Amino acid sequence: MRRPGWSVAAVTSPKCYRTSRTVTAQRHLGQRNVNRCKISPPVIVTTQAHRPNPVALPAGRLYPEPVQTLDSVQTAAPQGALASPAVARNAAPILAVLRAHLPARARVLEIASGSGEHAIAFARALPATTWTPSDPSPEARASITAWRAEAALPNLNPPLELDAAEPDAWPEVDAQVVFCANMVHISPWAATEGLMAGAGRILPDPGGLLVLYGPYREADVPLAPSNAAFDDSLKSRDPAWGLRELDEVVALARGHRLHLTRRVEMPANNLMLLFRRV
């Protein structure tokens, strides 16, 4: 039997994932804002679309300081698209790291793209890349399609139906980079296992790049109170969710010949992790 796919709950913060078949974002997240940087109330698109400012990663700095936000675009969001307020907060810092480490003409596969706003922002800001979003949820893929039609970016491919937890069923895709934001902690461990297996299989050897974004537990780093509250909230909604131990994620990746080469501290107690295929 096919397991439920895990996808961003696109009407909430991108840190909020759900099964695509049985659990709604409203049921799990309700209206309570646990932490402004972690979970936002459900939002239906009524705001403006956004475009990231170009951000260069300064030498010796872990992320841009001050953190730049996104400029509003005067075009209304497309009808039927889903939106996450967190994209406006995290896209510019993520973009700074991607600019510094992606190949010049990178072919990127995004896992668990959710609403599609990251795909739009990064494909627009990095026009030499080819960006392919994916998601197991029909609702999310419909949102990505709506954003893609409005943006009309030549380097943004149609969304693929892809479940991270089923790497043997991933469609064939030519990718140098796999990017995944905010899935690992809001999905069962099987999704992370599948992500590593799938990335290890499709990325070129040597040099393929896996990029993860989100919060983690670290053995020698005190857990921030906001992340501790977020972790408790996730586990109360689903015991299979929760912040993962970074050492366990790194060990799992190593088993698929993906080696952690860079840890980048990000705003709001998040990390970006870069793994190379060797």
Structure confidence by residue, pLDDT tens digits, 52-78: 333 333 333 343 333 333 333 334 679
Pick the CATH number of 6-277 from 3.40.1160.10, 3.40.50.150, 3.20.20.70, 3.30.460.80: 3.40.50.150
Tell me what the mean pLDDT of segment 135-162 comes to.
Answer: 97
* pLDDT for residue 85: 87
Confidence of residue 14 (pLDDT cuts 50, 70, 90): very low
Confidence of residue 5 (pLDDT cuts 50, 70, 90): low
Is residue 67 within 8 A of residue 91, CB to CB? The reply is no
Cα(40)–Cα(37) distance, rounded to whole angstroms?
Answer: 8
pLDDT per residue as tens digits for the range 207-254 = 999 999 999 999 999 999 999 999 999 999 999 999 999 999 999 999
* pLDDT for residue 80: 86
Give the contacts of 241 (CB within 8 A, at least 6 positions apart).
17, 185, 186, 187, 188, 234, 235
Tell me what the mean pLDDT of segment 143-167 comes to.
Answer: 98
* pLDDT for residue 45: 31
pTM of the model: 0.77
Is residue 231 within 8 A of residue 219, CB to CB? The reply is no
Tell me what the mean pLDDT of segment 89-110 comes to.
Answer: 97
Residue spans of the domains in the chain: they are 6-277
What is the pLDDT of the chain when averaged over all its residues? Answer: 80
Number of H helices and number of E strands within the chain? 7, 10
